[in-house]
Amino acid sequence: MKQLKLTGFVIFLFCVPESLTLPTQPQDVDDVSITQKFIEENVGYITIIAFAQYIQEVSFEEVEVLVKAMTEYRDKCLGDVTLPMCYKLANDVLLENICALEGLPQKHNFSHCCSKVDLERKLCFFHNKKADVGFLPPLPTLDPEEKCQTYKNNRESFLNNYIYEVSRRNPFVFAPTLLTVVARFEEMTKTCCEEQDKANCFRTKAEPVIRYLKASSSFQKNVCGALMKFGLQVLESINVAILSQKFPKIEFKELTSLLKDVSSKYDGCCEGDAMQCIHERSKVMSHICSKQDSISSKIKECCEKKMPERGECIISSNKDDRPKDLALREVKFTESENVCEERDANQTIFMAEFLYEHSRRHPELSIPELLRIAGVYEDLLKECCHTENPPDCYRHAEYKFNETTEKSLKIVQRECAHFQDLGKDDLKYYYLIKFTKIAPQVSTEELTFLGKEMVTALATCCTLSEEFACVDNLMDLVLGELCGINENRNINPDVDHCCKTNFAFRRPCFEGLEADKTYVPPSTPQDLFTFHTDLCQAHNEELQKKKDRFLVNLVKRRPELTDEALRSLLTAFTDVVVKCCKAEGPEACFNEEGPKVTAKSQAA
């Protein structure tokens, strides 16, 4: 992928410690060189991504000033590469330049981060990121003809502005993913600008790009949230399950070697260190591609691609076929006489191997379910290894595993039954009410997003043969959105308990939640039932958003109402909109009908 080269290329990219790690294999030399060249060619984008994600309020003009500051730094290092400042970590230099810009820390309220140093400063900027981007203005939209003309006149500014707007609205998405998004956006722009019906082309081709970005964002936030809240061991368990399912023929020794690279990748990526994220992602993909014969038969074409398509291709590739000689069960964990001794020798390695063996044998299970089974097995051994006859105790482990899966399966079947019975719209209202009652402290925008995502998950999965894994995986991602990425996010005691106690059993925990009893609703403002003619101008999608917001805000103010009463008020609201938008004087109609909805809500 050839990307633009901004004048802001900084020579320290050649000098940062991660680039100076001497490779030990010829393949490593080539990969480091390729990665370095990629960073050189895309440093403009990388700089914009880092700035816009750390400080989402920053204007595009301020970003350009920051890029200029980096250019001046480049000039100093070009003049004398031995200067101490030229050997600093790339992300440290970015943050120093942000803090050095006059008035910017005070204007955007991050001066407290600038008073810190090293890791504390980086983490402070990370915690400054806001998942709820409702404070940002609506995403600018251009007429298709205008969009094509702008691209033709100034490609560099057009694409820079695009990656700036996308990055600040997706502050936790990894830099390689955003680089892929901008590449696909440019490819789409080139194609659609040649079409006669440009609007339809943009609309059609934008959908898969948006889906890709949303799916990547959900997964990355979920995994990073696990790292931030539960630590490295839970992150490694997730990665063991994912890699073992995806590459079932990989040997455990090779898996543990790959795992070191994968886990180290998340340190930089999750904290927003764009440079380190790109370096570590490339290292992981190089590792996988250098061992294709022993890892997977499905990634040959992916490994022939360039950055960052290579990494994205491997991540989205299909699971490899299960080895034909792989037994349906690994008996060493349930029938061996020495299970407790092997566990006690190295509990971390033992549990990782169990998860590896179980995951590669069960592609039909979700990642959360595999983690639940590992948790059940670990608890069982804690109990069994203190009995007089441990083998007789843990010999029934398979029954415990099946029991756990049956419980999870019933939840999925119930959710899919809801989907079949209610349909998309009614199901969405069901989730909007449910989420708002259990987490009324969450913003209206976020709650409407969560409700919509739950419906998308069920609509995507409930007709598939792999229904269970699909539903469980996607719905867990939605709960990950609710729990958030920062470990210091607090909603209410019950939700916080589910989010922070046990990653694997998060979804069963949420199943048992009821309306938050600690919540004190605000007084119902008059404007909740004051309707205006803007409802008549709203297109179908925009009107639907207004209905969703009305329902969420209604639940926030009247959480004691039953689901039926809330739905009745939503129907009343919809009826008023339909009636008044057909009336000769819509505003007068709204003034007359609005109080009737108010009275109905008070009587409910």
Q: Identify residue 81 by its one-letter amino acid code.
A: V
457 backbone dihedrals φ, ψ, rounded to 5°: -60, -45
How far is Cα 483 from Cα 209, in angstroms, rounded to an integer? 25
Instruction: Please give the full DSSP string across 25-49, using - where no structure is assigned.
Output: SHHHHHHHHHHHHHHHHHHHHHHHH
Structure tokens at 549: 């917001």
SS3 annotation, 278-295: HHHHHHHHHHHHHCHHHH
Residue matched to tokens 């609007």:
199
DSSP 526: G
Distance of CA 537 to the CA centre of its chain: 34
Contact 35, 282 (CB under 8 A): yes
- Please choose, from the candidates 239, 247, 149, the residue with its C-alpha nearest in 3D space to the C-alpha of residue 193: 149
Residue matched to tokens 């990748």:
265
Contact 159, 165 (CB under 8 A): no
H helices present in 300-396, as ranges: 300-303, 309-316, 339-345, 347-361, 367-384, 390-394
- Please choose, from the candidates 464, 446, 432, 440, the residue with its C-alpha nearest in 3D space to the C-alpha of residue 551: 432
Contact 95, 110 (CB under 8 A): no
Collect all residues with Cβ–Cβ distance below 8 Å to 464 and sequence separation of at least 6.
Answer: 470
Contact 593, 580 (CB under 8 A): yes
273 in a labelled binding site: yes
Residue 270 burial (CB count, 10 A): 22
Q: How many residues does the chain have?
A: 604
Instruction: Please give the full DSSP string across 127-193, using - where no structure is assigned.
Output: HT--S--TTSPPPP---HHHHHHHHHH-HHHHHHHHHHHHHHH-TTS-HHHHHHHHHHHHHHHHHHT
What own/partner pairs with CB < 8 Å and gap ≥ 24 does 301-307 have? 306/1, 306/38, 307/1, 307/34, 307/35, 307/38, 307/176, 307/278, 307/282
- Please choose, from the candidates 53, 39, 54, 52, the residue with its C-alpha nearest in 3D space to the C-alpha of residue 8: 39
Contact 277, 174 (CB under 8 A): yes
Instruction: Please give the full DSSP string across 458-473, using - where no structure is assigned.
Output: HHHHTTSTTHHHHHHH
553 backbone dihedrals φ, ψ, rounded to 5°: -65, -35
How far is Cα 273 from Cα 224, in angstroms, rounded to an integer? 13
- Please choose, from the candidates 174, 144, 181, 177, the residue with its C-alpha nearest in 3D space to the C-alpha of residue 159: 181
Residue matched to tokens 């590792």:
287
Q: Which residues are annotated as a binding site for Zn(2+)?
A: 273
Q: Which residues are annotated as a binding site?
A: 273
